[in-house]
Amino acid sequence: MDLVAALKKENRLLKKENSACRDQARLFELLIEMAGSAAEQKMLKVSMQKTLEVTARLSKVKMGSLFLLNRDGMVTDSLLTRGKVSPGMRSKIVGSVLDQGLAGWVRAHLEVGIINDTQTDPRWLSLPEEPYKVRSALAVPIIKQNSLFGIVTLMHPVPNHFNQESIDVVQIAASHMALAIESAQLYIKLDELHRLRQKAMERDLSLAREVQESFLPAQVPRIEGFSFAAVNRPALEVGGDFYQFFKLPQGKLGVAIGDVSGKGIAASLFMARFSSDLQYYSSLYADPGKLFSKINKQLCTRAKQGMFVTLIYILLDVKTGQIRFSNAGHISPVYMDEGGVQTIGSHQAKGPPLGILPEAEYGQDQFLLKDKGMVLIYTDGIIEAKNKDRMLFGFNRLKKVAAAYPADPGMLVRQVVDSVDRFSLGQGQSDDLTLVCFKKEAFGPRFP
């Protein structure tokens, strides 16, 4: 008979353990549904509530409490049967129970605490205005990694309700459910860490954007006889595209547009440093090809993680309209006048991007900017923009826009950007968009 009774008891425990496992699985499914939703902040409370419900059901009680503790033995969260109470009252109840009550005894001894009759056991603490009658109680420690993780306390209005089987059942169920609670805690911590990192990254990006904008011209040049327009719109908070104007001696103006490989903070800071170098060396090297050779060698010695720059640099003589320019792996400039739209620059003079080949040589092209002639330089974010069918905006579409607005640099720049936005509607901006355009008017220039 003893063997039969033992087998029956073991069978009951296995059934209840199986039930606890199913409850645990359902809880995990619920937590997965909550993750990433507006309800994720309730994950911990849901896990605690489910744990209390499962242990109460398996031990056939309707009253209980659950305390979660940190490694210092301090309560980090709690769930009380008496329902909603004020934070002050909850703190008072938890403090009293852990100081003088059964849960406090369990925390101190790390053992199961069982009370057969609350009227005769000094470990039971009767609280004022208690909404239920308690005559027997069971408190079970939940141990995780050799530390007290929590204490589940169950109560019944009849003496001697709990026995060894109750202890075994609650220990098994609490152990299973604690895994879900721990997972919810970890998820909340990771989510909070992610949010903090996200905020820090947003602050860094905002600061990097301010740095980048400080290196871009505050306004386009105002030179009698010429009109200028420019736009820079990063795909991310910060980007690698840039443009610059350099006022140089002897009535010269340097006009540059470039694209640093990559995006984000690294590209932005690389661009800021490069823009500063370009401004300095453009005053020392009047020949665009020699300027490129000098900067290229510098970039090759300090370039990291394979970063490089494509660049167009135009040296404009505002007195004569004479232009000399070099191209380092960039898209060829576009020239517009009464004769139409065409690209300019020879293949022989074009060199590789800056920062790749230390011994690369760079040539230069030159031509005369006639009255009413207009030059457009831009980055690949324009022609490589894609629509919903993954088609590219392409040069032909750019050429049509340029042909439709050959008189006003400002209007042309706006229309190009608007055309790209309409073309790629709904696809988002995948790359930085930067354009610079200038025109020689029909009257004589004067460099201030």
My answer on whether 249 and 172 are in the same domain is no
CA distance 424 to 393: 8
In the predicted model, what is the mean pLDDT of residues 402-425? Answer: 91
Exposure string of 362-387, with b = 16+ CB inside 10 Å and e = fewer, is bebbebebeeebbbbbbbbbbbebee
According to DSSP H, which parts of 101-145 are helical?
102-109
My answer on whether 270 and 403 are in the same domain is yes
CA distance 294 to 199: 40
CA distance 183 to 177: 10
My answer on whether 129 and 237 are in the same domain is no
My answer on whether 229 and 153 are in the same domain is no
CA distance 76 to 382: 55
In which band, very low, low, confident or very high, does the pLDDT at 277 lie, cut at 50, 70 and 90? Answer: confident
Q: Return the CATH number at 123.
A: 3.30.450.40
Token digits of residue 378: 């831009």
Could you give the strand order of the β-sheet that contains 309-317, starting from the edge strand earlier in sequence?
Answer: 241-248, 252-260, 309-317, 322-328, 365-368
My answer on whether 44 and 153 are in the same domain is yes
Helix (H) or strand (E) holding 39: none
CA distance 39 to 228: 53
**Cβ count near 393 (within 10 Å):** 21
**Residue 200: inside a domain:** no
My answer on whether 251 and 138 are in the same domain is no
**Residue 179: inside a domain:** yes
**Residue 107: inside a domain:** yes
The position carrying tokens 């750019």 is 398
Q: Are 355 and 307 in contact (CB under 8 A)?
A: yes
Report the mean per-residue pLDDT for the chain.
Answer: 80
Helix (H) or strand (E) holding 285: none
pLDDT above 70: percentage of residues in the chain = 75
User: For residue 369, what are the domain limits?
Assistant: 206-440
- The pLDDT assigned to 428 comes to 67
My answer on whether 165 and 89 are in the same domain is yes
My answer on whether 64 and 161 are in the same domain is yes
Q: Which of 152, 186, 220 is the last residue of a domain?
A: 186
Q: Are 405 and 232 in contact (CB under 8 A)?
A: no
Token digits of residue 84: 């909603």
CA distance 390 to 385: 9
**Residue 158: inside a domain:** yes
My answer on whether 294 and 403 are in the same domain is yes
Q: Is pLDDT above 80 for 227?
A: yes
pLDDT in tens, 369-401: 999 999 999 998 899 888 888 899 999 999 999
Task: Give the total number of structural domains in the chain.
Answer: 2
My answer on whether 119 and 250 are in the same domain is no
Q: Return the CATH number at 329.
A: 3.60.40.10
The whole model's pTM is what?
0.58
Helix (H) or strand (E) holding 138: strand 136-144
CA distances for 60 relative to 16, 114, 138, angstroms? 12, 15, 12
- The pLDDT assigned to 280 comes to 87
**Residue 36: inside a domain:** yes
Instruction: Tell which wins on pLDDT, 30 or 208.
Output: 208
My answer on whether 224 and 166 are in the same domain is no
**Residue 80: inside a domain:** yes
- The pLDDT assigned to 84 comes to 53
Q: Which of 186, 216, 249 is the last residue of a domain?
A: 186
**Residue 196: inside a domain:** no
**Residue 47: inside a domain:** yes
My answer on whether 106 and 241 are in the same domain is no
Q: Are 257 and 330 in contact (CB under 8 A)?
A: yes
CA distance 49 to 10: 27
Q: Is pLDDT above 50 for 219?
A: yes
